[in-house]
Amino acid sequence: MSLVIRDEAKKKKSAENSEPLVSWKDKKILADNEEELLCKDVQELLTWTSLIESMDDKQLKEYVMNAPEELRAGKEVAKSTARRRAPRNGKSKCSSSNALMDAIWKHHREDGGDEEEK
C-alpha cells in the first residue's frame, strides 16, 4: 500500500516541476512566426548589402560618416588596439633555439681557432 502512495507522490511532484504542456499546433505556430521573422531579417540584410554594393567610394564615405554610433564602434576599437601594441625590439627570441645555436657557434669557433693556429 505504501508503494502506491510513493508512486503517486512522485508523479505529482514531477507534474508540478515540469513545464506546461504545449500542443504541437502551438509549437507549429511559434515555429512559423519565427520563420517569418527570420525571412524578414534576411530580406532586410539582402537589401542593405545590395545598397552598399551599389554605392561608389564617395557615397560609401558619406554613409560611414553619417552612420549611427553602433556602426562606428568598430572603427574606435581598431584605433584603440593599434595604440596598445608595443613596438618590437629586434627579432623574437626562442630560448631553446638560442641555446642550441650558442653551442653550435661555440663549437665552430673552437674548430676555427684551431685551424688558424696550425
Domain-wise residue ranges, the chain: 23-80
pTM score of the predicted model? 0.40
Rounded average pLDDT over 95-113: 77
CA–CA gap between residue 99 and residue 103 (Å, rounded): 6
Q: pLDDT: is 17 or 1 the higher one? A: 17
Please identify which residue in the block is written with the cell numbers 520563420.
35
Three-state secondary structure of 5-30: HHHHHHHHHHHHHCCCCCCHHHHHHH
The mean predicted confidence, pLDDT, of the chain is 76
CA–CA gap between residue 59 and residue 67 (Å, rounded): 12
Per-residue DSSP letter, 1: -
Helix (H) or strand (E) holding 42: helix 24-54
Max mean pLDDT range (15-19, 23-27, 70-74): 23-27
Rounded average pLDDT over 48-55: 91
C-alpha cell at 38: 527570420
pLDDT, residue 118, reads 45
C-alpha cell at 96: 631553446
Max mean pLDDT range (2-6, 24-28, 111-115): 24-28
pLDDT, residue 11, reads 67
pLDDT in tens, 23-47: 999 999 999 999 999 999 999 999 9
55 contacts 63 by C-beta, under 8 angstroms: yes
